[in-house]
Structure 1
């Protein structure tokens, strides 16, 4: 399931693919209902390692992570370029400003923590860490995290085959059915390198959380259309792919267990104001 930046060198890079980056709001409610939350242990560790409660959530989307931090006692401000996603987050009690992070104006505000859940790869890598350093208070924490969405091979291979057949011109159709965890880890290592380049943070840390979630056929077919490879397909294309995957899950007994890994790159802003 394509969710992270492609490792191929050819353009466009994820932050340049604005139509895909801003396509998740086509079904904001479905996204909010189907996408999994983040491990409680991750949220608790970030909150415990932050100097205060003020959190900026970059790429907040519908506020899935933001609500978790709010429940942990934080005051969260979200930034997202998609007004449809922001509207839903606001309807659920979040404060959101509609803008790309690159263009967003902090207007003198600063934060104890800056988080970005499943969205940092859509930012210009030359801008993200530098701007994060600018809006974080001394000793504030930058935490970039996301899930590894790789279902079992029995589900992944029929999905990849259907995507290649139905949408051969999709930028995601040439990806392998399943990508190794090391590929995702390399992506988070590159994020750490960009943080180091700013010379504004202590040395970044890499965190990993492993967990499982059981999905019924319908639950998985609700989640699939919220992924970057499918958000821009025509209804008939989407229906064909979902039909192929649904048939496979039916043959597996109607459900399967997803083994998730959630990865994080995190760093503390240097303590000198």
Structure 2
């Protein structure tokens, strides 16, 4: 007996519709989140392009307060003069480079006013037989002029520890406690140049970040497509049940016959298949 489309208003199908709507709304929010991630990536690229090759400025201009840092000044070069506190050198664990495990080399840099600016001199690989570098190149002795690019302090990671002389992250608050001097805790410097040059080849330098927005835009479109596909799938399911419930309806029987006729036209006959095999 024909029931028409009344079944689509049943509690079961309205429940399906509610689930699809919830799923589609979630897809929209996930798409917006991916677009926000893309905006963050593009903003980071703009910061690199604006600051990496900028003229160095004094540290007082870039960091007027020891504990403050403007994120828009990341990678901005600053010039400082003073002496390396080589005895206070620290190694930061878990710093891979080109797929190799290694350490970042942090050396506190004592400025003329008595404050300390932390310099990341570069990267050294993990040793062959121990969880530490085989050797760490020493910085220049005496008075040195350093140009370094600013980066923000890193947070402390819960559950991660490090042996004496090492850090789990570049957390400048921890460095200040270790050196026991007034220290810039808002940002540190990634070494660009030293004058005079060190006697030993310096640790591997940090390279300029590649401008990469990531796949966020394509992911955003994919989430929207998933939301649309959910409605298409629901419509297909409703249509299938309609056909099952109304198979004795004359109009539906006529439509079913037309579908079978079209399918038969699209399907090759046995003779066509045999001819195709003989032609090979």
- TM exceeds 0.5? no
Q: Which has the larger radius of gyration?
A: 2
TM-score, with normalisation over the residues of structure 1?
0.21
TM-score, with normalisation over the residues of structure 2?
0.20
